[in-house]
Structure 1
Amino acid sequence: MPILGAHMSIAGGYHKAVRAAHAAGCDCVQLFTKNNNQWRAKELTDKDRAAFTAALTELGITHPISHNSYLINLGSPDDELWRKSIDAMVIELQRAEALGIVSVVAHPGAFTTSSEEAGVARIAAGLDEVHRQTPQAVSRVLLETTAGQGSNLGWRFEQLAAILDAVADPDRLGVCFDTCHVFAAGYAMETDKEYAATIRALDKAFGYKKIAAFHLNDSLKPFGSRKDRHAAIGSGEMGLEPFRHLLNDRRFKQVPMYLETPKGEEDGVDLDVVNLTTLRSLVG
């Protein structure tokens, strides 16, 4: 079976995210290590770390990963924001290290008032500086595929490849494949032939083995819209077939997959439970 989980809230403590994941029937969990809409971060305590690690062990939740702050933009041409983003990314890696989290998912960045080429170079230089400041870190950054909204980079596989080619130490980077984003970016996955063509394009760009995590989300917006709006599995524009192909692709059997779908309940049942049940029904 695929390794399936979801993004969970850390309200009340990091261990709460693990317990919520277990309650929903997850195998793995994603979380923020700080408020994702603030630059400042509350200090991590030994108690935080111990409770988080103990919950993972006790409940058998594996592959914990984190997502970085949405404020970070390593592609910014603005020097002040760029440096602030580097400092914040260093902290994200340090917090992940402290919690025993091996991967930090990050949107590559937006070039805003510059150009795609300048944005790629800026992101690569920013990542090199982050790596320079964290030489012993085991945790690595996973560049997430994006929908391509505005000037966000990473919506074409070739853009991710360009960043990986430009950094000094590409072995310290991986890729997180977001289904909604890839669909919104214009990569078809509904038929066997379309799915095969999309994975072939990805493999040609940077190699499918670079994928270290998946975000499983349907899309509220149509194919090729370049709009980032997540929907419950099978209730958006994608339908179930792309997920069926992905979940039965043996190449990704050991790669953890995390829901980032809307939270809530349906007929009194937690939506994460509903989505996980739907996904597991597609296997085999």
Structure 2
Amino acid sequence: MTKKVKFGPAGNPLGYKGKTPQVCDFLADKGLDAYEYQATYGVRISQNPAQELKKNSIKNGVLLSMHAPYYVNLSSADPAVIERSIERLVQSARAAEWMGAYRIVFHPGFYTKYTPEEALKKCKESLETVLEKLDAEGIKNFTFAPETTGKKSQLGTLEEIIDICQSLDKFQPTIDFAHLYARSGGKIKSREDYHQILDILDNELDIDHLHCHFTRIEFGDSGEKKHHILSEKEYGPPVKPLLEVLKESGWNSTIICETPLIDQDALRLKNCFDNMK
């Protein structure tokens, strides 16, 4: 039986002139059913507009997620950086509870002077502190979603993200297929490659809803360089095999589009998926 796949943009649609709490009206009118709120440079939304956004998303049947600030490094050698990163994730969880976001996406950090194993250990210790602070505040309605990362200097291989999610409660992965593609040097090419990723997730984690990011991506020796639009087919990863695998695999999923044409390409992805036999 085919399960539901939702599609939407990373942030407010291009050309949208309205206020963020009403953005789901606009998305639903276009035929989209997911939205990832971007707290890229800090959590700046207050409680009332966040709660308005929640009501608007429910009214329109749009599934809400949230991207935490980019300035998060939970494996830093600098204790002050870790402290600020922890606070940013606490702020994100607070806002996510207000807006009813089902996932809080974040980038775990960088290896810097540490080995990958040491960086992962520091990251998980930092996340344990995040959970302790949220428990002390009584914040309970959240699911953190660490993201696979695109640069080889970043903590965030598929295996590392799985490890984080296995080690901590209320964690589910964000699978950025473009990042995996860039980090691997372009090794995602076929249905079998996507199946392999999903099989690993299925074997290692209990996932009720798979949260994904997608874009065309340019990469170099160090990994991710630049996002590209869907029509730039000289860049990967391939679109159709992913959609075919998701349609057949039995996963409830959300795909957040991160191309420069965030909402237009999200709709292209949705139309391609809907038109598959």
Q: CA deviation at 1:279?
A: 4.1
Alignment gaps of 5+ in structure 2 = none
The code of the aligned residue for 2:160 comes to Q
Q: CA deviation at 1:129?
A: 0.6
Partner residue, 1:130: 130
Q: CA deviation at 1:184?
A: 1.3
Q: Say which of 4, 7, 30 aligns to 2:7.
A: 4
The code of the aligned residue for 1:25 comes to G
Partner residue, 1:261: 259
Against the structure 1 CA distance between its residues 189 and 241, is the aligned structure 2 distance closer, same or farther, given a 3 Å change threshold? farther
Q: CA deviation at 1:247?
A: 3.0
For 2:50 and 2:224, the matched residues in 1 are separated by: 37
Q: Give per-residue Cα distances to partners, 1:122-162, cap 9 Å, x unaligned.
A: 11011101111112421110011112x1520112x222233
TM-score of the pair, normalised by structure 1: 0.81
Q: What is the Cα-based RMSD across aligned positions, in Å? A: 2.7
For 2:208 and 2:77, the matched residues in 1 are separated by: 27
For 2:249 and 2:236, the matched residues in 1 are separated by: 25
Partner residue, 1:273: 267
Is the aligned partner of 1:173 residue 2:171? yes
Against the structure 1 CA distance between its residues 90 and 145, is the aligned structure 2 distance closer, same or farther, given a 3 Å change threshold? same
CA contact (8 A) 1:221 1:237 kept: no
The code of the aligned residue for 1:130 comes to V
For 1:112 and 1:199, the matched residues in 2 are separated by: 29
For 2:192 and 2:101, the matched residues in 1 are separated by: 36
Q: Which moved more, 1:173-182 or 1:187-196?
A: 187-196
CA contact (8 A) 2:215 2:257 kept: yes
The code of the aligned residue for 1:37 comes to Y
For 1:16 and 1:192, the matched residues in 2 are separated by: 37
Identity of aligned residues (%): 18
- Structure of higher RCO (CA pairs closer than 8 Å, 6+ residues apart): 2
Q: CA deviation at 1:227?
A: 1.2
Against the structure 1 CA distance between its residues 201 and 49, is the aligned structure 2 distance closer, same or farther, given a 3 Å change threshold? closer
Instruction: Give the total of aligned pairs.
Output: 265
Dislocated runs of 4+, deviation >4 Å: none
Q: Give per-residue Cα distances to partners, 1:82-115, cap 9 Å, x unaligned.
A: 0110011100000111112121011121122222
For 2:243 and 2:148, the matched residues in 1 are separated by: 20
For 1:185 and 1:249, the matched residues in 2 are separated by: 26
CA contact (8 A) 1:104 1:142 kept: yes
Partner residue, 1:15: 21
Partner residue, 1:158: 159
For 1:6 and 1:84, the matched residues in 2 are separated by: 28
For 2:56 and 2:35, the matched residues in 1 are separated by: 12
Map 1:1-284 → 2, pairs under 5 A? 1-9=4-12, 13-32=19-38, 34=39, 36-38=40-42, 41-42=43-44, 44-46=46-48, 48-61=49-62, 63-135=63-135, 136-147=139-150, 149-155=151-157, 157-165=158-166, 167=167, 170-186=168-184, 188-204=187-203, 206-207=204-205, 209=207, 212-221=210-219, 226-233=223-230, 235=232, 236-252=235-251, 254-263=252-261, 270-281=264-275, 283-284=276-277
For 1:121 and 1:210, the matched residues in 2 are separated by: 26
CA contact (8 A) 1:75 1:120 kept: yes
For 1:60 and 1:202, the matched residues in 2 are separated by: 27
Q: CA deviation at 1:183?
A: 1.1
CA contact (8 A) 1:215 1:258 kept: yes
Alignment gaps of 5+ in structure 1 = none
Secondary structure of the residue aligned to 2:238 is: coil
